[in-house]
Chain A
Amino acid sequence: MSAAGPPAFDDLLGPLVGRGYALAITMLNDRTAAEDAVQEAAIKAWRKLPTVRDRTAIEAWFLSIVANQCRSIRRGRWWSVLKLPEIRPESPGQDQHASAIDLDRALDRLSAEERLPLLLHFYMDMSFEQVGNVVGISMTAARSRIYRALDRLRADLQPKEAIDNG
């Protein structure tokens, strides 16, 4: 906390900016748009902060605002006509495992709403309940959504595996 009385933004929400940016880039695949989304979400969050009762759940609450901001951007008219560059991993080296490249591509083919719960659960180590809080759905629905996305990834990778195995 800041010594200046009320909690400073950087103390409370500053540590979450990086995770918010990771979420936004996963949903938007565009760096500038992701930065704008996090900034707008941060401003909204700071204004709403006094209404937050459970400070222990502040991370999920902040990320849910970022996710909503990303959805709002995606609904924008310009977004539907603009061809966005994909954020891809660094070009793999010779030793990069082939299945990792397949998985990267399969993740690209998922929709933003399918990638989001995977990011929250597998990368950010969130429980099903926390994932539900961020996405705005129940814990059961969050679990189902994660398993469905996994099934889609497996199905997407299956033909490639079959070909590889001859």
Chain B
Amino acid sequence: MAEIEGEIRYAFERRLAALPARPDLRARITDAVVRSSRPRAWRVLAASAAVLLLGAVTFSVLLARHQQPAPVTVSPMPSAQVSACPPSSPAALPAPTARLGGVITTVITTVAGGGPNPDGTAVNAQVPSPYAVVVNSSGVIYIGDGLGLRRVGTDRNISTNMQYVNSLAGTTGVSVAPRDLSAATPGGQPSAASELLYVTQFAKDLVVRVGGLPQGDLGKIILVDGVQGPVGIVAAQQSGLFYLAASTSNKVLKVTVLPGQAPDNGQWQTSTCVVVQGPETSRPAGLALDAQGNLYIADSGNNRILKVGVDGTIRTVAGAGPAGFSGDGRQAVKAQLSGPTGIAVDAAGVLFIADTGNNRVRRVSSKGIISTVAGSGTKGFSGDGDTAVYAMLSGPTGVAIGPDGALYIADSGNDRIRKIGPS
């Protein structure tokens, strides 16, 4: 019970989940309030008049201020903390709000991997060292693992197109992109129903554009100058725009695919600019975009998570620097992480971190408070069907939020994709 702060959240969740559901409570109280306020209609009118008067006065003051010349302000932020190339577009895939809470929804299960067979259902398949996981808006799971890119359909069958798997062995990053660029696909048109993905291969220093899984359109290389060890990739809503973490190069790049330029031997040309680079970042890994277009970077070598605002401001949102485990229940910026890799942000601005070295998944609330949502801290495999915070994980490297609000974890050392949420 050394980390009692982290346990208290779940204790309250259990207490409140034990209560019978009262879906009518809000309606009942609304009705009571409406009934109680009827005889006091004059008060509402008076209040409305007061609000209008206040609004008019406020508007006048603001208008007067607006007409005065704006004072010159000097940003106290050192220049190194402002990106010259800020993010400019929100995520391609609208993130649902993660619905973790209560006894039932914090149960962890395996949804892919752990079995001996390469075909058939996902839970009976081999998923060797899955590094990245992403879930599209229909609930289809894409996994980047040691052998390649896999697709788990909503029927929970896993596709094992070996030609694909071989060509994309060692996939370290996957992102679902908008589809409209597919009209100019080099070397053939993918099916209109196919998904468009951006994929990274760390060992080959490659970024690949994939259209048509599982229909079988082979991946086309996207040429990005000077990229070494690409890991995290996240597509923006703006067509052809994505962000790329070049881990070995210590750079995070904003990359625009040039659609008007004829692809050279099926390879796409790009233009790039640097969002952040060393020494501000060290071995950047996972990336995530929120609904406002802010970019989150798992600054793996510095054991922290950075947030680059659309105004270019770079700040730390989790991690105090030295590797370790501490801080649950407190401000995330004072907590310790250990080599965080995958990250995801939900629609409510809640950040999920694959805290790889701690064998845990951490959660940072929109108020900046950190807690653990999965993993007991002990490396190993256990806990399927049990409460996620007591389960053992082994070097989790990727996290994703599904359309059902569930959290998916690439439990890399256990060769499995695990899920917290409704089964």
Chain A: residues with CB nearer than 8 A to chain B?
Answer: 5-6, 9-10, 13-14, 17-18, 21-22, 25-26, 31, 35, 38-39, 42-43, 46-47, 49-50, 87-90, 95-97, 99-100, 102-104, 107, 118-119, 121-123, 125-127, 130, 150, 153-154, 157, 161
Q: In the bound complex, how far is the Cα of B18 from the Cα of A139, in angstroms?
A: 31
Q: In the bound complex, how far is the Cα of B13 from the Cα of A123, in angstroms?
A: 8
Q: Tell me, yes or no, whether B103 is within 8 Å of chain A by CB.
A: yes
Q: Is the CB of A121 within 8 A of B329?
A: yes
- Contact partner, A39, options B32, B365, B386, Cβ 8 Å: B32
Q: Is the CB of B7 within 8 A of A100?
A: yes
Q: Please name all residues of chain B whose beta carbon is closer than 8 Å to the beta carbon of A14 when the two chains form the complex.
A: 26, 29-30
Q: Please name all residues of chain B whose beta carbon is closer than 8 Å to the beta carbon of A97 when the two chains form the complex.
A: 387, 390
Q: Is the CB of B19 within 8 A of A100?
A: no
Q: Is the CB of B25 within 8 A of A21?
A: yes
Q: In the bound complex, how far is the Cα of B65 from the Cα of A96, in angstroms?
A: 61
9 cross-chain pairs, A with B, having the tightest CB-CB distances, nearest first: A50-B47, A125-B365, A89-B14, A123-B12, A122-B8, A125-B367, A90-B18, A17-B26, A9-B33
Chain B: residues with CB nearer than 8 A to chain A?
Answer: 1, 4-5, 7-20, 22, 25-26, 28-30, 32-34, 36-37, 40, 43-44, 47-48, 50-51, 103, 329, 365-369, 371, 385-387, 390
Q: Is the CB of A104 within 8 A of B329?
A: no
Most B CB contacts (10 A, CB to CB) among A102, A107, A125, A130 go to A125
Most B CB contacts (10 A, CB to CB) among A42, A50, A87 go to A50
Q: Please name all residues of chain B whose beta carbon is closer than 8 Å to the beta carbon of A17 when the two chains form the complex.
A: 25-26, 29
Q: Is the CB of B386 within 8 A of A42?
A: no
Q: Please name all residues of chain A whose beta carbon is closer than 8 Å to the beta carbon of B44 when the two chains form the complex.
A: 6
Q: Is the CB of A100 within 8 A of B11?
A: yes
Q: Is the CB of B33 within 8 A of A118?
A: no
Min Cβ gap B333→A in Å is: 13
Secondary structure dominating the interface of B: helix
Q: Is the CB of A90 within 8 A of B12?
A: no
29 contacts between A and B (CB under 8 A): A10-B30, A14-B26, A21-B25, A22-B12, A26-B12, A35-B28, A42-B33, A46-B33, A47-B37, A50-B48, A89-B18, A90-B18, A95-B386, A99-B1, A99-B7, A100-B7, A100-B11, A100-B14, A103-B4, A107-B12, A107-B15, A118-B8, A118-B12, A123-B9, A123-B13, A125-B369, A126-B367, A153-B4, A157-B1
Q: In the bound complex, how far is the Cα of B16 from the Cα of A13, in angstroms?
A: 20
Q: In the bound complex, how far is the Cα of B10 from the Cα of A6, in angstroms?
A: 39
Min Cβ gap B15→A in Å is: 5
Given A50-B50, A125-B369, do A90 and B40 touch, yes or no (CB 8 Å)? no
Q: A46-B36, A161-B1 are in contact. List 10 more A-B contacts (CB 8 A).
A: A14-B29, A17-B26, A39-B28, A42-B29, A42-B32, A90-B14, A95-B386, A100-B14, A102-B1, A127-B369
Q: Is the CB of B4 within 8 A of A127?
A: no
Q: Is the CB of B17 within 8 A of A90?
A: yes
Q: Is the CB of B14 within 8 A of A122?
A: no
